[in-house]
Amino acid sequence: MLILIYVAISVVIYFVLKYFGLLNVNNIRNLIQKYGLWSYLIYFIFQISISTFICIIPFEDEILTASAILLFGPIKGFFAASFNMFATSSIQFLIGRKFCKSLVEKIIGEDSIKKYQNYLSVKGEIMLPILYAIPLFPHDSLCILAGLSKMKYWYFAPITLIM
């Protein structure tokens, strides 16, 4: 069911982008530059939306970083993408912490969650930087999983910012 929802959302996003002519990089760049400083907010909302709905796809972070560099230039694009990735990772951590726990609890049970949270809180803190270093690993899914663990945000945030 979840896969069907992802497919439906992806198809809707594709047709909306096609309708507005936003499947071409030059059209997107012209639209972004038209809004000046507001373009960073537009890109931020776009990246959060894409990262949240398509968080299981590898290369998603790299594609969004490349798109920021294409749209804003190398220096501004790098900083825009870095800020957005940190903010998106933090939001996904909080989504995992606040919303996914009850869903996972219903699926695998409260006892299993406690057992795995203890495991993840010890091993997760060691594994988080290692998994971030793997280029093809879906980092957004990792942020949600970190939110499900007992990992503290104040441990998660600096590692996410550095990696």
The pLDDT > 70 percentage for the chain reads: 74
The stretches of the chain forming alpha helices (DSSP H) are: 2-19, 25-34, 38-53, 60-72, 74-95, 101-108, 110-133, 139-148, 153-162
Q: Cα–Cα distances in Å, from 78 out to 12, 48, 57, 66?
A: 29, 16, 21, 9
What whole-number distance in Å separates Cα of residue 81 and Cα of residue 61? 9
Q: Exposed e or buried b for every residue in 112-125, given b needs 16+ CB within 10 A? A: ebeebbeebeeebb
State the pLDDT at residue 13.
74
Do 35 and 42 form a contact (C-beta atoms < 8 A)? yes
Average pLDDT over residues 121-125: 69
Q: Cα–Cα distances in Å, from 102 out to 3, 96, 141, 159?
A: 20, 10, 17, 26
Q: Which range is least confidently modeled, 5-9, 19-23, 114-118?
A: 114-118
More confident residue, 17 or 86: 86
pTM reported for the whole predicted model: 0.68
State the pLDDT at residue 59.
57
Confidence of residue 152 (pLDDT cuts 50, 70, 90): confident
State the pLDDT at residue 163.
72
More confident residue, 44 or 135: 44
State the pLDDT at residue 55.
57
